[in-house]
């Protein structure tokens, strides 16, 4: 509430902090999607000794401080994500995807960035309600396209059921890494129909 992050209004904060409390010596955090920087400030406050990085398609440098650094990159571009990883050259304790919420964006980012999560680290993939058709239509109908073989929520549920990470947006070598290095996927929804405020916490082995 102090930082007005929508993670509070979605109901995510209590879920995340159960996991955050178990994280030790957190040094580097990445969030995709910056907005006005509310969540970056929250993360900086919760982990005062960590460096917090943000990626957005727009200039958000007004959020920069000694512990917060922002960059202009497109999350569905492997070329952009590669440039960011080469520039920072670090492993992340926590990555949070609060970006554009399309299936392509979510799946490309997970497939490409999971290698940069440290052992035992967390990859949080937010706002999975855009995978549900009713929410997809309610929010404008542009999150799911005919080029998506599977929604992100179904992709994660399929992994939980079968240990297969099926996605036409994830490269074969990325799929192998995900299937070998994901320890668990926890999915939380505020509603029984998973059509509002749905998030996931993916833990690396």
pLDDT tens, position by position, 133-183: 887 777 778 899 999 999 999 999 999 999 999 999 999 999 999 999 999
Cα–Cα separations (whole angstroms), residue 106 to 15, 55, 89, 103, 155: 20, 14, 22, 5, 11
CB 162 within 8 A of CB 154: no
What predicted TM-score, i.e. pTM, was given to this entire model? 0.96
Rounded-to-10 torsion of CA 36, 42, 45, 48:
-90
- The pLDDT value recorded for residue 23 is 94
Q: Where are the domains of the chain?
A: 6-204
Q: How far apart are CA 4 and CA 137, in angstroms?
A: 26
Return the closest-CA partner of residue 53 out of 66, 40, 42.
40
- The pLDDT value recorded for residue 81 is 98
User: Active-site residues: which are they?
Assistant: 101
Ranges of residues in the chain with a pLDDT under 70 are none
CATH of domain 6-204: 3.40.50.150
Cα–Cα separations (whole angstroms), residue 195 to 6, 155, 156: 16, 16, 16
Q: How far apart are CA 170 and CA 166, in angstroms?
A: 8
37: left (phi over 0), alpha (psi -120 to 50) or beta: left
- The β-bridge partners of 189 are 198
Cα–Cα separations (whole angstroms), residue 168 to 149, 174, 197: 6, 11, 25
């Amino acid at each position: 509430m102090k930082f007005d992050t929508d993670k509070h209004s979605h109901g995510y904060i209590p879920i995340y902090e159960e996991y955050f409390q178990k994280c030790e010596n957190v040094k580097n955090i990445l969030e995709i999607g910056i907005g006005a920087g509310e969540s970056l400030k929250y993360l900086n406050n919760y982990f005062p000794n960590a460096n917090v990085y943000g990626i957005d398609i727009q200039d958000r440098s007004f959020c920069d401080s000694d512990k917060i650094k922002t960059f202009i990159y497109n999350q569905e571009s492997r070329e952009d994500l590669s440039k960011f990883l080469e520039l920072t050259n670090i492993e992340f304790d926590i990555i949070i995807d609060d970006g554009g919420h399309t299936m392509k964006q979510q799946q490309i980012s997970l497939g490409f960035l999971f290698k940069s999560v440290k052992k035992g680290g967390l990859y949080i993939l937010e706002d999975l309600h855009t995978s549900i058709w009713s929410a997809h239509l309610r929010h404008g109908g542009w999150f799911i396209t005919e080029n998506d073989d599977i929604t992100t929520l179904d992709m994660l549920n399929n992994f939980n059921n079968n240990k297969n990470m099926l996605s036409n947006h994830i490269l074969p070598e990325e799929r192998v890494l995900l299937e070998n290095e994901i320890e668990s996927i926890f999915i939380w929804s505020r509603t029984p129909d998973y059509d509002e405020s749905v998030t996931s916490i993916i833990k690396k082995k």
